[in-house]
Structure formats: structure tokens, C-alpha cells
Chains A and B, each alone.
Chain A
Amino acid sequence: MTTTSATPRLAVRHLTKRFGALIANDDVSLTIAPGELHCLLGENGAGKSTFSACLYGLLQPEAGEIEIDGVTAELTSPAKAIASGIGMVHQHFVLVPSFTVLENIVVGTGSGLRLDMTAARGRILDLSRQFGLEIAPDRLVADLSVGEKQWVEIVKALYLGARLLILDEPTAVLTPQESERLFAIIQQLKASGIAVILISHKMNEVMRSDRVSVLRKGRLVGTVTTKDVTRDDLTMMMVGRPVAQVHARSKPGAGETALSFTGVSLAKGGRTHLKNVTLDLAAGEIIGIAGVAGNGQDELLEAVAGLVRPDSGSIHLRGEDIGALSVHDIARRGVGYVPSDRFRDGLVSDFSIAENLILGQHWDERWRSGPFLDETATRRSAEQAIASYSVMASGPDMLCGRLSGGNAQKVILAREFAKARHLLLCNQPTRGVDIGVIEFVHGELLRKREEGCAILLVSEELEDIFALSDRIAVMFRGEILGIFPRHEADIARIGPLMAGHAHGAAA
């Protein structure tokens, strides 16, 4: 930090932003020094994204003022934000796959008619060398790995002259190794005086920042110096109450068999998805399927839901062969299905919360009066679901496409949990949601279990599997390589199986 350390790079005072009745940012004030890594922490819907959109000129706050390097800035458009030295790396890549790296960085910059690609290339290579970003200017963005795309996004912002860089959940798509690289890059940025705002809810990342500002329900709970606090302090600030890590649970019920696979196999497109799967699931039991993504977990659940037909073997639901039943018929027998990709398979983004909640069961008498949909009943049950699942939304009419990931997931859970009288198929229920929601999902799953519902849980997060399962099965290339009662399972046993090493030796 140089002579400017007296003047903050960014000072925000009393920023307020409303969407109709919803207050997304309520009187938020904070300052960030040059060369500071400042973390913005909060649950989904706490207002982190709104805050950064206001800084980048994408949204206009109703009240408050923003100062950059001591000068008041009117950030009415991204152009003004860029001119003020604010850069942003968006949560989802904003790149043109058919352009080269160079074209992606250069487009929209420069002056005159001709493109001066030589000069641009020189500057880009300088920037990438200075900050340790490895990029190849002439490669097509479509051919880049996820990590490389992220470096391009950062160079894009730096090329525009960013002195304050906002990174919106930049590690959500990165591998652990790539995340390490990112933090090395951030160190370089800091060393050259660039201030970085990191939006995240991963605690291990948050703990590497200089200071943390915690948002909850649109309000700034506080700004703290990171080295003075613990993870638990921050979690407490973020969620507003202590998070119980351990859930009380009863002994696994020796209930009757709810679901049984017998020799189920499935191959499509020349790949084996399921290989002779035999498994019994009892009522009131949770079986967790551990495994690296893409080893047949999706197909296992889809086969039960009726979305794919196995090539051989049979699946019985409470004694009945469901091999010939339609998706609809299976669902009517009390099966809930939470798909892994919530916006592709779980929700219709352009439908309201109320509509999504009755999706697939709109024929049900509860929501019907004669041949018509009963609007009052759907609204009432939607309001109930919003309240009991504490969905952060303006009301039953809010479009699901506008919900954050965690809140969208809650809508799906509300619908599918209600459907699951006997069996719940749950795929990646906690992917991309924050601590508060994870805790909530865990609690709900255990509650379903107490009710006697059988649960087949797939998760890439071993924490989910260990916290919830009565038994843990490991899948590799469509095959169940091992199944253990939870108290016998540990990472040393599960890990090698996940990599396909059935007996501790290379398979």
C-alpha cells in the first residue's frame, strides 16, 4: 500500500436497493483499501450479487453514495463503472466461445476503425506475465478448460484498467488446484495495489481474505478483520444463529423393504452406466451413494424415477415391479425425485413459485376445482411452502428463474418432499448452496427419514454422505463396489473404492 492508503479505494455509504417489496440491500456501508482482499460473505439471497451489480452500474441503488479513490462516482452504467476503475468477473462466464482469447479481451475496446491486434496482444501478454496468468491469445475460448476461461475473464477486467476487481464466486467452477492458482493470482493483484472484492460462501476461502463483510437479508451485519475471527464466528454472523453440526437421529428403523434393485444393468451410447446393481433400501433408511460424478449415480436414480429403462434386471417399489410403469405412475406411488441440475430438470424458470410447486401433480384434487386450476388453493399452499422452507422470495408469483440457487433448491425440495410418501430420490441436494441451506436440507432429510420415508441420496460432497447415511454405497463405472454401515465407513475405505481400486490395488 502506497501513499493512497489514507484514501480508501472504495467507500460505499448507506447504499439501499429495493426490488418491489423486497429490500435487497438495506443501508449498506463499507470501505476497501487499495491492495485489500475483502470478502463479501452471506447466504444466497443475502444481497451480495445485488451489491456488486450496483457497484458495476448494472443496477441503480435507490439511495446511498459510492466514492472511488476519494471521488464521488455516479455509477449509472457499466461504462461509467469501468471508467471509474471497477472491473468485474461474473459468476457465470461471459465469453464468446467462437472467438479467440484475444478477440474476447479486445472486443469493445480501442478506438478508430481498424483493429490493432498487435498492440493489444502485447498488452495482454504484459498483463498475463505481470500477474502470473497463463493465457494463449490465439486459442479459441471454446477449447479452453474451465480454469483457463477464468483467467481470460480476469485479464479482460484488467485490460479495461480495473483498480478494484469484483470476483463473484470465482471458485464455484474451479478444481481445488485451480482455486490455489487463483489465490496466487490474487496475491499478485494485491501486491500491485489492486483491491479485490471476493464474493464467496466457502469458509476456507473467506479465511484467506484481509477483511470480511457479512451480509444477512440485505443488511450489513458487520465488517471484521479476518485474523481476529474464527469460522464459527463468521458462520454465526452469516446465519444469525449457531449452526448445529450434529443432528440427533434414531437408530435405523428395521422397516420393510421400500426399494430393491435386482441385477439392474444399463448401457447407452457405448457406455456402461449401470452394471448388475443389486441393492435393498428399507423404509426409514438413508443410503448414501458416494462416487465421482458420472459413474452411474444419475442413471441409478433416473431408473427408479422411470426416466430411463434398464436393459436388464428389475426394480421393485414396495414389492411391486415398476419396470413397466410411466414416470407419472411411479410418482403417484409416493416417489419424490430431486434432480441434480435444478434449473434444467427441476424447475421451469419462467413459471412462478406457485406453478412450479404443483408441476407434475396439477391434476391432483387439492389444486383443482372441476376442470380448472384452483388458484386460491395453489397460492395458499405456495405461501405455506415459502414460509415453512423459508424461501427468500417476494411471494408465490415470483418467477423461479429469479431465485438464487439455494432458494430454487428449496422450492424443488418443498414439492418433492411432499410427493415422497415412501421413497425420496435425492441427487446433489446441497450443490452450490450455502451453509444455512445445507443445514436446513440435512434437517429436512432426517425428518423425512423419521417419518419412515426411504431415501436414496447421491452427493459429491462426502460431508453430506457421512452426516446423513445409515449405509454408504460406493459406485464406480456403474457398479456398486462396496456397501458399508456408516460406523464402518471412513474416508480411508471409501476413497480408494471411489477411484475404482476394489482391493487396495490398482484396478
Chain B
Amino acid sequence: MIADLLETSIIISVLAATVRIATPILLAALGEMIAERSGVYNMGLEGTMLMGAFTAYIGAYYTGSLWLGVVIAMITGGLMSLIFAFMVITLKVEQIVTGLALNLLGSGLSIFWLRAAFANAGQTPTTPFFDTVPLPLLSDIPFLGPILFDQKILTYVAFLLVPATWYFLFRTRYGLELRCVGENPKALDIKGLNVAARQYAAVVFGGLMAGLGGAFLTVGSAARFVPEMTNGRGWLAIVIVIAGLWRPVPVLLATLVFSFLDALQLQIQGIGVAIPYQLLLAMPYVCAILALAIRRSHSGAPAMLGIPYWRR
């Protein structure tokens, strides 16, 4: 049965699933990478994604528009990270504790609202969901076409964000300033520039992306909302930023490794290989722990990550 996995059609299906599964994680991870480059850990990513998933679903359900659902999810993610930013940048509350609180908020609020909106929370209605958009010509390339170019629009967006964030960080004035804030905010402050404004912008961008990633889970694939459906993807995104050395391309690679493991376990389960499925489910997370253990030293981490800036 293991031999079945080596058939071309199965390989294509596993790799296409890898790209699909990578989408929400990649969006959240790139957003978190930008936030952390400003020196702020958003540990509330899981809760923010969850609220994004929920509001996209509820927005699409009530407005009947998938795109409005996506916009609402992004606004929600932005608002949640704005609360977070106010707490940790303006009030200088401990970042990790605040992030954990945000997760509890996301988890509780989404379940409460789901029950408030639908009498029977076990039998929530489905919404439509985004179709794949095969790119003309590109999708006809053998092997690669169905893997990379027969995906949903949000997937294309996520992958295009990799070069976009790279260009921003390493080729623009604002990117240099953002990296400076994460490394030594005082260096920017004494040049008369506003450190907090840059951190706010970075954290809110992270929130928008987490909201977008969350939206992909509901209106992008599942067509419904299930409590706690992010299932650790937000946490995985945080691990990926560390494993990816706070750089766009390594972040993409790390995301693909984790997503591939996930896609593989789905396929193996589907074929019915006699391995306990819990073991397979755990694979990406075991891999995450290994990645952290190997990358023990935080070289590449912004020097002031997690440390609030006080002018002295």
C-alpha cells in the first residue's frame, strides 16, 4: 500500500494539498514575521486566526458575498491586533501574557457568537466557498501545473506575499526602518522618527494577515465554522517564523515542510495504511519541536524581540 504513494497522480495530489494547506499558515507566518521584525511577538495569532475564520464565515453567511466575508475577517484580525498593539506598545504590558489573553478571547468569543447566531450549534449552515482558479497556460504545465497553478486566489496571494515582503524588508526605506526598530529602536528614535507608529503598523499588518489566513479556513475550504478549527495553525505559524529565521524565503520553505507532512498524513490515512492516525496527525508538531530544538540559538532574531521600548 505504501507503494501507492509513489504513483504520479497521488504525488500530484499530495503536493497540491501541500500548497493548499500551506496557504493559511503562510499568510499568518508572513504577517507574524513582519510584526516580530518590529520587536513585537504576537502570541495571540491562534485566537486572531480563529476570529478571522469565524467572522469570514458569519460575514459570508449574512451578506452572501465571499469577498465581503474575507474583508470582514481582515478587519476583525486588524482590530484584534490593534487591541494587542495598544496593550503591548502603548501600555507596555508583557507581550506573551497579552497574546495568551487574546487567544482566550478569540476562542471564547467565536464559540459564544456561534451559539448566539445559530440555535443548533452542532448543525450550523454551510456557506459557499471559493473555487480554484486555474491560471491560463500555466496550469497546463505537466506535473507543476496542477500543483501550483490550479489553486484558489488566496493561495496565489499568499505565495506572492513572499517576494513582496522580501522586497519590502530589504529594498525599501520603510523595511529598513522596520528592521531597525526590531534591532535597536533607539537608533530610530534619536533620528526623530516614531518607533511606536512603526510597531503599530507592523502588528496590525500581522493581524490583517492572520485574519486573511483564518478566512481561508472557512470560506476558502471548509465552508463552515467549527469551534477551535484553527487547530494549532496559529502556533505553528509562530514556530515557522523562528524556524524560518525571520526571512520570507526560509519562512516559505518551513511552511511547505510542515504542510507537506500534514498533506502526507491525510493521504496515508485516506489510503488506509495501518499506522495509528494520531501518530500521523502529530507529525507536523513533532517536526516543529525538532525544528525549535535544532535552531536553539535565536540567531537571526530581532535583538529587541519581546522587549518594550522605553526612551531613557
Give A contacts to B, CB under 8 Å.
56-58, 77-83, 88, 90, 94-99, 103-104, 106-115, 160
Residue of A at shortest CB range from B183? A96
Q: Determine if B171 is an interface residue (Cβ-Cβ < 8 Å).
A: yes
Q: Determine if B193 is an interface residue (Cβ-Cβ < 8 Å).
A: yes
Query: Known: A79-B193, A108-B188. Contact between A113 and B172, CB under 8 A?
Result: yes
Cα of A83 to Cα of B176 in the assembled complex, Å: 21
Name, among B177, B190, B191, B192, the residue most crowded by chain A CB atoms within 10 Å (CB to CB): B190
A79-B187 in contact (CB<8A)? no
Contact with A along B163-191 (1 / 0, CB 8 A): 00000000111101101100110111111
A95-B184 in contact (CB<8A)? yes
Q: Determine if B303 is an interface residue (Cβ-Cβ < 8 Å).
A: yes
Query: Known: A81-B192, A82-B191, A107-B191. Contact between A99 and B173, CB under 8 A?
Result: no
A107-B180 in contact (CB<8A)? yes
B173-A114 in contact (CB<8A)? yes
CB-CB under 8 A from B183, the residues of chain A are 96-99
Cβ of A24 to closest chain B Cβ, rounded Å: 14
Cα of A35 to Cα of B3 in the assembled complex, Å: 82
A107-B187 in contact (CB<8A)? yes
A95-B193 in contact (CB<8A)? no
Give chain B interface residues in 176-216, CB to chain A under 8 Å. 176-177, 179-180, 183-184, 186-193
CB-CB under 8 A from A110, the residues of chain B are 173
Interface size on B, residues (CB 8 A): 20
CB-CB under 8 A from B190, the residues of chain A are 56, 58, 78, 88, 90, 94
Q: Determine if B311 is an interface residue (Cβ-Cβ < 8 Å).
A: yes
Residue of B at shortest CB range from A103? B176
Cα of A98 to Cα of B177 in the assembled complex, Å: 13
Task: Please classify the interface of chain A as helix (H, G, I), strand (E, B), loop, or mixed, using the class held by over half of its residues.
Answer: loop
CB-CB under 8 A from A56, the residues of chain B are 190
CB-CB under 8 A from A94, the residues of chain B are 184, 186-187, 190
CB-CB under 8 A from A108, the residues of chain B are 177, 180, 187-188, 191-193
B172-A107 in contact (CB<8A)? no
Residue of B at shortest CB range from A59? B311
Residue of A at shortest CB range from B186? A94
CB-CB under 8 A from A106, the residues of chain B are 176
Query: Known: A94-B186, A96-B184. Contact between A115 and B172, CB under 8 A?
Result: yes
Which among A57, A104, A114 is the interface contact of B172 at CB below 8 angstroms? A114
A-B pairs, 8 with minimum CB distance: A79-B192, A108-B191, A78-B192, A96-B183, A107-B180, A96-B184, A108-B193, A94-B187
CB-CB under 8 A from A95, the residues of chain B are 184, 187
Q: Other than A96-B184, A111-B173, A160-B191, give 15 A-B pairs with Cβ distance below 8 A.
A: A56-B190, A79-B192, A81-B192, A94-B187, A96-B183, A98-B303, A103-B176, A107-B177, A108-B177, A108-B187, A108-B193, A110-B173, A112-B173, A113-B172, A115-B176
Give chain B interface residues in 126-148, CB to chain A under 8 Å. none
B189-A78 in contact (CB<8A)? yes
A113-B184 in contact (CB<8A)? no
B174-A107 in contact (CB<8A)? no
Cβ of B176 to closest chain A Cβ, rounded Å: 5
Query: Known: A95-B184, A96-B184, A99-B180. Contact between A109 and B191, CB under 8 A?
Result: yes
Residue of B at shortest CB range from A79? B192
Cβ of B188 to closest chain A Cβ, rounded Å: 5
Enumerate 12 A-B pairs (CB-CB under 8 Å) in ascending A order: A58-B311, A79-B191, A79-B193, A95-B184, A96-B183, A96-B184, A96-B187, A97-B183, A107-B188, A108-B191, A113-B174, A160-B191
